[in-house]
Structure 1
Amino acid sequence: MKAGAVEIGEAKNSTPTYGVNKGISILDFVLRLLAFAGALGSAIAMGTTNETLPFFSQLIRFRAEYDDLPSLTFFVAANAVVSRYLILSLSLSIFHIVRSRAQKSRILLVFFDTAMLALLTGSASAAAAIVYLAHKGNAKAKWFAICQQFNSFCQRISGSLIGSFVGMALLILIIMLCGVALSRR
């Protein structure tokens, strides 16, 4: 008689865990979509950024492009890699919605999510240093701020950084959610 009571109690305890893990999996899917949008938007915004200013005449022009600076090129490539990863990881996220008790695939996602977070953090940090120099310059090194002349260029690269930092924050939330789902098992 007691064995039957224990089984019923266990069934009741596993149902809320199943529902919570399913909710975590759905939230994981939505956050992955948002992080994908942030990373892809940042890559596109930075990759299409350029501005040309005439100097004294139409024959002499100054041009600013993202690929003039290796840090910004790395930023575009890293955001493209992270966005590809995030779109591919959606299939595992859907799998977790269907089978919310899966553990090994969640551990795999945590591993790759952490690697993508490191890549995104490194590229955004390198780009942020360049954006800071573009806005403020460096008097000691005699580097002039270019944002007074190339205003549109600076606005776009700054906006691109914001999207990447949002993607980083979402990846941190995704990793934390995976940890919660794994700990609930």
Structure 2
Amino acid sequence: MDSTKSTGETALNIPESKSTKDKNTVAYTATTTATPYPQARWKRGVSIFDFILRICALVAALAATATMGTTDQTLPFFTQFFQFQASYDDLPTFTFFVVANAIVSGYLFLSLPFSIVGIVRPHAAGIKLLLLIFDTMMVAFATAAAAAAAAIVYLAHNGNSNTNWLAICQQFTDFCQRVSGAVVASFIAAVILIFLVLLSAVALRRR
């Protein structure tokens, strides 16, 4: 009879239970599905901010259009046969200003439903790209109209002695105040549109 005994250890392979596999699968699924939510919330927040900015730009563009389009002043101290009158349509620059801001206003109004779709579907890149293209075009319209009108307003306030252009704002005070306010409102709309372009570009970049 052999007195030597084997003392080696035997490794037991215990199969992983089905419940453990299910738990690991659930944990992995929960981890993978929970990660996109912060990004979706961020994109929805950007879309909501985009909608608010569009409303502000729409108000500013409408104010610029309505103010300039209704600007008309007649000096009261002349007879009905001989009067000095100043109206926005006397100057082609102001007429262009009204048309351009009206186009911007119409576009901003039509873009609101697309902005709402961006809130509902924050990952829809096609809508953001479309708005980015048209927003850039409207920036050009609003900036060109505001800059051109600002040059005329400057001449109306200060004149130009080299060309014998008189400053008419000393007489037509109401006219100059209204056109100046319209130009300021148009510049505000242009700045908001620039922010909209940057916002859309950032949203598309982080897609």
Q: Shorter-chain-normalised TM-score: which range?
A: over 0.9
In 1, the alpha carbon distance for the partners of 2:66 and 2:194 equals 22
For residues 70 and 6 of structure 1, the distance between their equivalents in structure 2, rounded to whole angstroms, comes to 67
| Partner Cα distance (1:13, 1:111) in 2 | 31
- Which whole-Å CA distance do the structure 1 matches of 2:80 and 2:178 have between them? 24
Structure 1 pair 121–6 and aligned structure 2 pair: CA distance change class (3 A): farther
Report deviation, 1:56.
4.6
The amino acid that maps onto 1:15 is: Y
- Computing the radius of gyration from Cα coordinates, the structure with the larger value is 2
For 2:37, give the aligned amino acid: T
CA contact (8 A) 1:55 1:62 kept: no
What is aligned with 1:39?
A: 61
Q: CA deviation at 1:3?
A: 8.0
Asked if 2 retains the 8 angstrom alpha-carbon contact of 1:17 and 1:184, the reply is no
Q: Does 1:130 align with 2:134?
A: no
Identity over aligned pairs, percent: 50
> Alpha-carbon deviations, 1:79-109, whole Å to 9, x = none?
0000000000001000000000000111111
Matching residue of 1:87: 109
Match in the other structure for 2:185: 163
| Cα distance in 2 between the residues matched to 1:6 and 1:168 | 48
Corresponding position: 1:111 with 2:130: no
Counterpart CA distance in 1 for 2:170 and 2:77 is 14
The residue aligned with 2:123 is: 101
Aligned partners of 1:54 and 1:60 also within 8 Å:
no
Partner SS, residue 147 of structure 1: helix
State which of 70, 87, 97 in structure 2 corresponds to 1:65.
87
Structure 2 CA distance for aligned equivalents of residues 40 and 119 of structure 1: 14
SS in 2 for 1:64: strand
In structure 2, what residue type is equivalent to 1:34? C
Q: Which moved more, 1:141-150 or 1:170-179?
A: 170-179
The whole-number CA distance in structure 1 between the counterparts of 2:29 and 2:203 is: 23
Deviation at 1:55, TM superposition (A): 5.3
Structure with higher RCO (Cα < 8 A, 6+ apart): 1
Q: TM-score by structure 1 length?
A: 0.94
Unaligned regions of 5+ residues in structure 1, if any? none
- Deviations 1:21-66 (Å, cap 9, x if unpaired)? 0011011001001100000110000000010014553431000000
